[in-house]
Structure 1
Amino acid sequence: MGSLDGKVAFVTGAARAQGRNHAVRMAEEGADIIGIDLCDQIDTVPYQMSTPDDLDETVGMVESRGRRIVAREADVRGPQALQAAFDAGLAELGRVDIVVANAGIAALAPEETDPVRAFNDTIATNLAGVRHTVHAAAPTMIEQNAGGAMVLTSSTQGLSGRGGNGTGGLDGYTAAKHGVVGLMRSYANWLAPHGIRVNTLHPTAVRTPMVENETVPAFMQDYPDMANAMANLLPVEMMDHDDTTNAVLWLVSDRARYVTGVTLPVDAGFCVR
């Protein structure tokens, strides 16, 4: 038996990286998955974003664990399309117990051509997208009257302003990740009477295409003080997907049944450096 037997998890950014790993590991623990991803490019994002093939691969990985998955391409910036994608999953899987609002971007270009647009795209995805994700699922979870858990992915940049340099992409990223904490605290109060727990996760750098791409070294070269500012306390340059997924699995399980309203760092000591 798994820790999530009989549960259904709604995961955004599920096509690859942390979102895929969360979905697959929750499937291994017995959950069925509603998986959402944009599977397209945002112009201000300088690295290659996910593709339909990536989402198909996630589907295969979940199904190979013996679990069901309803996967849809949808943009978290658009609440109507996101709601439609969620509703398709709900119609097939029948319920939702877990929300992992994981979708996010980092519009960190070494030479920004439109910093205002980079800021706005990041806020729309990393902050408004979290809001839309929660509101897509919350009415069903309340109606079910069976409790549940939500994890909203923030960042160490949601607890710190270290490395700030005035660029539109980083301004947007830091502001959005701080804003996610505000949403979490509001939602924790809203949903607690219904037995639904809401927490934020704050990872340091994780080995994902958002970080491991050719633009990040160029960005750091343009802002050399930033590399030192962003270093972890422990001698760890970057974490692996399982480091964040292990925390997600705990937060959504009954082992954390009385944990809500918490900002949980998984950060190799970043926030106390």
Structure 2
Amino acid sequence: MGKLDGRVALITGAARGQGRSHAIRLAQEGADIIAVDICKQIDTVAYPMSTPDDLAETVEEVEALDRRIASAIVDVRDHDALCAVVDKAVVELGPVDIILANAGIAPQGAENPDEVKTFRDVVEVNLFGVWNTVHAGVPSMIDNARGGAIVLTSSSQGLSGAGGTGTGAGDGYAASKHGVVGLMRTFANWLAPHSIRVNSIHPTGVNTPMVVNPVLQKYLDDNPALGGALQNLLPVPMIEPIDVSNAVAWLVSDDARYVTGVTLPVDAGFAAK
């Protein structure tokens, strides 16, 4: 038996990277999955984003664990579309017990960027998208009246000003990830009477396509001081998605039943520097 048997988890950004890893890890513990992702390019993002094939691979890996999964291509910036997708999945799988608001972008490194549009896109995906995700999933969680757990994906830069660049991408990323902490704290107060716990998780650089790509690598090579500011305390350049997923799996399980309102770093000591 798994620690999450009989539970349904809504995961955004589930086509690849941390989102896929979270879907597989929670499925290993017995959860059924609602997996959503944009699966197309955003104009201000220079690195390749997820595709429908990526989302299909997540579906295959979850189904290989003998768990149910409902998937949909939807932009977390579109509140009404996201709510419609979640409502349909709830009819199929049952009420939401777990929400992982994981979708995010980091468009640093684009050539000749539109700074204003970039800032807007980052904040709308990374912050407004988190608000939309929680509001799409929470109604069935409250109606079901058996509590639940929510984890909002922030970043080590959601607890630090390191790496500020004065650009739409850099400023937008750090500001949005700090904003996620504000959402987490207000959500934790709002939902506590319903026995719904809310926490944020703060990874350092993770070995995913959002971080490991030629665009970001060139940007760091061209800005060596920035790379130095983002170094971890432990002697590792980055962590793996499963390192974050294991922490998430604990936070949403009954092992953490009284943990709410916390900012949990999974950052190889970045925050301790």
Give the TM-score range, shorter chain.
over 0.9
CA distance in 2, matches of 1:117, 1:69: 34
Show structure 1 runs of 4+ deviating over 4 A. none
Give the aligned partner of residue 76 of structure 1. Answer: 76
Q: Deviations over 1:111-137 (max 9, x none)?
A: 342011111000000000000000001
Q: Deviations over 1:42-87 (max 9, x none)?
A: 0111110000011011111000100000000000001011111111
Give the aligned partner of residue 119 of structure 1. Answer: 119
CA RMSD of aligned residues (A): 0.8
Give the aligned partner of residue 156 of structure 2. Answer: 156
Give the aligned partner of residue 51 of structure 2. Answer: 51
Structure 1: tracts of 5 or more residues without a match: none
Give the aligned partner of residue 190 of structure 2. Answer: 190
Give the aligned partner of residue 26 of structure 1. Answer: 26
Give the aligned partner of residue 221 of structure 2. Answer: 221
Q: Is the 8 A contact 2:99 2:137 kept in 1?
A: yes
SS in 2 for 1:197: strand
CA distance in 2, matches of 1:84, 1:243: 32
| Structure 2 letter corresponding to 1:156 | S
SS in 1 for 2:163: coil
> Are residues 224 and 110 of structure 1, via their aligned partners in 2, closer, same or farther at CA, if it must alter by over 3 Å?
farther
Matched, 1:8 2:40: no
How far apart are 1:222 and its partner, in Å? 2.9
Structure 2: tracts of 5 or more residues without a match: none
SS in 1 for 2:127: helix
Give the aligned partner of residue 133 of structure 1. Answer: 133
Give aligned-pair identity as a percent: 61
SS in 2 for 1:151: strand
Q: Deviations over 1:146-205 (max 9, x none)?
A: 000000000001000101111110110000000000000000000000000000000000
Give the aligned partner of residue 66 of structure 2. Answer: 66
CA distance in 2, matches of 1:245, 1:32: 16
Q: Is the 8 A contact 2:96 2:138 kept in 1?
A: no
CA distance in 1, matches of 2:35, 2:145: 23
Q: Is the 8 A contact 2:163 2:229 kept in 1?
A: yes
CA distance in 2, matches of 1:224, 1:37: 32
Q: TM-score, normalised by structure 1?
A: 0.99
How far apart are 1:240 and its partner, in Å? 0.5
* Residue-pair matches, total: 273
| Structure 2 letter corresponding to 1:74 | V
Q: Is the 8 A contact 1:33 1:69 kept in 2?
A: yes
How far apart are 1:5 and its partner, in Å? 0.3
Q: Is the 8 A contact 2:5 2:29 kept in 1?
A: yes
Matched, 1:95 2:56: no
Q: TM-score, normalised by structure 2?
A: 0.99
